[in-house]
Amino acid sequence: MKDTFLAYQSLLERAGDLPQKREDHCRIIDQFYDDQIIQMENNAAPIVGKAQLLVLENKNLDSVTSVTTKIEDVVFDEDSGTVWGRMTIHFSTRSSGRKKLEEAFQQHWLNGKMVYQRFYYGEAVDDF
């Protein structure tokens, strides 16, 4: 699980312009997410399925002009297939300028695929 997560992290953090980041993010979903993954963001209703997450990711990327992600901390529990971590996302929007979002996450992996992911975050703040 740890090696698979590190490959996921490498793609997520890879530098690139927006078209490259879109390609990387879509590849992450295709390569590492189970077809029936369940994702939750804060207390919102679950999003079910890789196809739905791909639509959501493309919508999010349509609203930005740049994005970088850095996983700051990560803890692995190999026995349960669980990963916990914290990431910082820097992005620029056409309407609001540069922003920073800090997220905590929990992931559950099974047979080399992410089957559950939950994000916890607050408001994005200005990033100067």
Place of tokens 């929990």: 106
The closest alpha carbon to 25, from 45, 2, 9, 48, belongs to 9
Give the orientation angle of helix 50-62 with respect to helix 18-32, to 10 degrees.
Answer: 170
Read off the pLDDT of residues 73-82 as tens digits, 9 standing for 90 and up.
999 999 999 9
Q: Which CATH architecture has domain 2-126?
A: Roll (3.10)
Read off the pLDDT of residues 38-61 as tens digits, 9 standing for 90 and up.
999 999 999 999 999 999 999 999
Q: What is the mean pLDDT of residues 105-110?
A: 98
Dist CA 42 CA 103 (whole Å): 10
Q: Could you tell me the pLDDT band of residue 95, with boundaries at 50, 70 and 90?
A: confident
Q: What is the mean pLDDT of residues 101-110?
A: 98
Q: What is the model's pTM?
A: 0.91
Task: Please report, for the chain, the start and end positions of each structural domain, with discontinuous segments joined by +.
Answer: 2-126
Q: Parallel, antiparallel, or unpaired: how do β-strands 113-121 and 125-126 relate?
A: unpaired
CA atoms 28, 62, 44, 54: torsion sign: negative
The closest alpha carbon to 35, from 46, 58, 57, 51, belongs to 51
pLDDT greater than 90 at residue 94:
no
pLDDT (0 to 100) of residue 49:
98
The closest alpha carbon to 41, from 110, 75, 89, 96, belongs to 89
